[in-house]
Structure 1
Amino acid sequence: MNIKSLLLGSAAALVAVSGARAADAVTVAEPEPAEYVKICDVYGSGYFYIPGTETCLRIGGYVRYDIGVGDVGSFDGAKTADHQDGSENSTFQKHTRFTLKTWTGQETELGTLKTYTETRFNFANRNAAVYYNTARNSGVSLNFAWIQLGGLRVGKDESAFNTFIGYAGNVINDTIVPYGDFDTNVVQYYFDAGNGFSAVVSLEEGEGVVGTIDSYVPHVVGGVKYTQGWGAISGVVAYDSNYEEVAGKVRVDVNLSNELSVFGMFGYGTDNNLDDPTNAIDAHDRGFYKIWGGNWAFWAGGTYKFNEKTSFNLQVSGDQDKNYGVAANVAYDLVPGFTVTAEVDYDHFGKFDEWVSGADVVNFTNADKKNSVGGMLRFQRSF
């Protein structure tokens, strides 16, 4: 056998072996295509499609830390007892909050199906008996949890008496003179004409001992609004079914320039039946909607933007009982999503003797001041 024959034979053997192995090769299945999260830009930034559905979801919230000094948050500020000798001391009011928010949206044959939830987790110090001020977990609250299909909304919300017409100013303590209670279960219908006109009708349950409805008859709120580039005009009327009283507010918002916007709001309510001396709030003619003193009250203020990062906010308020408040702050966006706000507040209580008479003191500890001043520094990271 010569070398040429040997080489040809070896080549033939290799081909035969290779063919046999190819016949025995294992076929590997193609991998399933990965389903990546897709951005949903139908309802604004931050939404994404829940995998396998047509529902868009957004998750957000904020972390907040407040430092209060003086008479902020209670009538006579934060008080505590000295741990060594028991004497009374003033102290900071500290409040930390984590808020988790969710939004969903989906288009259906009956209109847009939306939900919104907001849950707040709090840790704070507050006044207690004999000025024993302790820092502790101060509660978890479900502030919003509603479903809306088209214009129909049901669930936990804040009263349309406040949300539809708008909250007061861009200040931290905007309720020095209160403008309405907030938490309630609702059945609401919103109408948007598309030309600047909108309206709402809201059936509400109220909350708390005084505010919660006492029969099958709900509280009723109705409102109308006209919005244009220059600002808006709006009004709401509320019927308190517990006491058969009526309250209303009208508001004007005006954008004077790109930097300056102002607002004015006026409230009026009846109080003929708000005279139950067994409830502290009723004893001062205050119900679920007309929560200010006397029949009328006002709130006014504005915002001036120095630049993209810095704004000045002011609010003044007062009512028929000669309660007055002023709140002013400067808010600065240190970096996108992180805002530091420094605020100063002044309170004047008109019917002072009523507020501090025995068991009628409401939400205030050691109420021995007719005029009070305080300040607050707020750090907030929103996401």
Structure 2
Amino acid sequence: MTVAEPEPAEYVKICDVYGAGYFYIPGTETCLRIGGYVRYDASAGQEGSFTGRGTTDVMDGDSQRSWSKRARFALKTWTGQETELGTLKTYTETRFDFLNGATDINAHFAWIQLGGLRIGADESAFDTFTGYAGAVINDTIVPYGGFDTNLISYTFDAGNGFSAIVSFEEGNSYAGYNFAGSELIDSYMPHVVGGVKWTQGWGGISGVVAYNSNWEEWAGKVRLDVNVNDAFSLFVMGGYGTDDNAPRNFYKVWGGNWAVWGGGTYKFNEKTSFNLQVSYDEAKEFGLAANVAYTIVPGFSVITELDWAHNDHDNNGYNWTGIPDGKKNALGGFVRFQRDF
């Protein structure tokens, strides 16, 4: 009787080309990293804030406010492989949310990148290339972009701090940007974004311009970042857009033609930082958000944030945060626990 020899064990081999956490997929030259986070948010706030939620008393039918609770599991994957045309990468992020009793699954990112060419589901270059709007969580009290989109983009990196991008984008079907409905492209003409950036040790300056093909509107933003020292950093960003056909749209989401955002981060130590953002637009809408982020142990953090939304005009049902008619302020806040892995 002949006994077959066992197959040799093929152990996982570490890949350190793209950073920590990567390993070679057995039998291939592709490096893979798997990660993600588990998050729990608990928030409360007045009507018109981004926190809390409106409810109805089950006994007497009165309108009232309650906690908003969200638990999320986000699964992320990264791959990398060197080719004759440059580094071939992929990135995916799938979010599983349990929000106020309802479950939702969102394939938030799913893109392929070869060299500077990126194709797939991403967030708009109008928002990512300039670096969002600070380190607070509710950074869209005065909004600055429409985010989720399918795109085809190309980024040129000169290697000396200068980079540039062009992005052809689909938009998305979320109602709310123009208070009329979808911002998904309505023809074969895509939305178009272009941008340039210069970064150095002191900080950087960046700018983006976008064309909304649905409404034939333009918008642009310029941002300045300054690293005061190792612990303290500041930013200011200004936006301007046309609004002849759509007062708010996928790129010019703020009220009026112009808006400004500013703020900074101060790191008290390796575990604790304070983040602040203020924002204002031509429609006299003001936002203030501040938080303290604390790392309990490596990979586990807690953030407590306070947010204030204000407008100085009659709402007439037409304001971003949803402050009710007859009121001008909405205060809210929340606490977030997050385990990254």
Q: Distance in 2 between matches of 1:189 and 1:35?
A: 38
Q: Does 1:55 align with 2:27?
A: no
Give the conservation status (yes or no) of the 8 Å contact 1:146–1:154. yes
Give the conservation status (yes or no) of the 8 Å contact 1:190–1:198. yes
Which amino acid is 2:328 matched to?
K
Q: Does 1:305 align with 2:277?
A: no
- CA change 1:157–1:75 in 2 (3 A) is closer
Q: Does 1:341 align with 2:303?
A: yes
Question: What's the TM-score once normalised by structure 2's chain length?
Answer: 0.93
Instruction: Please give the per-residue CA displacement for 1:103-126, whole angstroms capped at 9, x wherever unaligned.
Output: 00000111110000111111112x
- How far 1:72 moved relative to its partner? 7.8
- How far 1:370 moved relative to its partner? 1.4
Q: Distance in 1 between matches of 2:184 and 2:67?
A: 34
Which amino acid is 1:341 matched to?
I
- How far 1:202 moved relative to its partner? 0.3
Query: 3-state DSSP class of the match of 2:61?
Result: coil
Give the conservation status (yes or no) of the 8 Å contact 1:221–1:239. yes
Aligned partner of 1:167 in structure 2 is: 132
Q: Distance in 1 between matches of 2:44 and 2:50?
A: 12
Q: Distance in 2 between matches of 1:102 and 1:73?
A: 36
Q: Size of the alignment, in residue pairs? A: 334
Q: Distance in 1 between matches of 2:94 and 2:326?
A: 35
Instruction: Please give the per-residue CA displacement for 1:35-80, whole angstroms capped at 9, x wherever unaligned.
Output: 1001111111111111110001111111111111113874684222
Query: 3-state DSSP class of the match of 2:8?
Result: coil
Aligned partner of 1:182 in structure 2 is: 147
Aligned runs of 1:1-383 on 2, under 5 Å?
31-71=6-46, 74=49, 77-125=52-100, 135-137=101-103, 139-208=104-173, 209-274=181-246, 285-354=247-316, 356=317, 364=322, 369-383=327-341
- How far 1:362 moved relative to its partner? 6.4
Bigger radius of gyration among the two: 1
Report which of the two has the higher share of helix: 1
Query: 3-state DSSP class of the match of 1:210?
Result: coil
List alignment gaps of at least 5 residues for structure 2.
174-180
- How far 1:84 moved relative to its partner? 2.0
Q: Distance in 2 between matches of 1:81 and 1:288?
A: 33
Q: Distance in 1 between matches of 2:77 and 2:262?
A: 32
Percentage of matched positions with identical amino acids: 68
- CA change 1:39–1:368 in 2 (3 A) is farther
Query: 3-state DSSP class of the match of 1:353?
Result: coil
- CA change 1:114–1:98 in 2 (3 A) is same
Query: 3-state DSSP class of the match of 1:293?
Result: coil
- How far 1:337 moved relative to its partner? 0.6
Instruction: Please give the per-residue CA displacement for 1:175-225, whole angstroms capped at 9, x wherever unaligned.
Output: 000001011110101100011100100001111243111111111100000
Bigger shift: 179-188 or 31-40? Answer: 31-40
Aligned partner of 2:176 in structure 1 is: none
Give the conservation status (yes or no) of the 8 Å contact 2:315–2:326. no
Give the conservation status (yes or no) of the 8 Å contact 1:199–1:222. yes
- CA change 1:330–1:336 in 2 (3 A) is same
Instruction: Please give the per-residue CA displacement for 1:332-366, whole angstroms capped at 9, x wherever unaligned.
Output: 00010111011111100233333x2xxx5767486
Give the conservation status (yes or no) of the 8 Å contact 1:221–1:238. yes
Instruction: Please give the per-residue CA displacement for 1:239-295, whole angstroms capped at 9, x wherever unaligned.
Output: 111111110000011110110011111000011122xxxxxxxxxx00110000000
Give the conservation status (yes or no) of the 8 Å contact 1:330–1:341. yes
Give the conservation status (yes or no) of the 8 Å contact 1:76–1:368. no
- CA change 1:119–1:42 in 2 (3 A) is same
Aligned partner of 1:16 in structure 2 is: none
RMSD: 1.9
Which amino acid is 1:193 matched to?
A
Q: Distance in 1 between matches of 2:215 and 2:244?
A: 9
Give the conservation status (yes or no) of the 8 Å contact 1:76–1:366. no
Which amino acid is 2:289 matched to?
A
Q: Distance in 1 between matches of 2:112 and 2:48?
A: 32
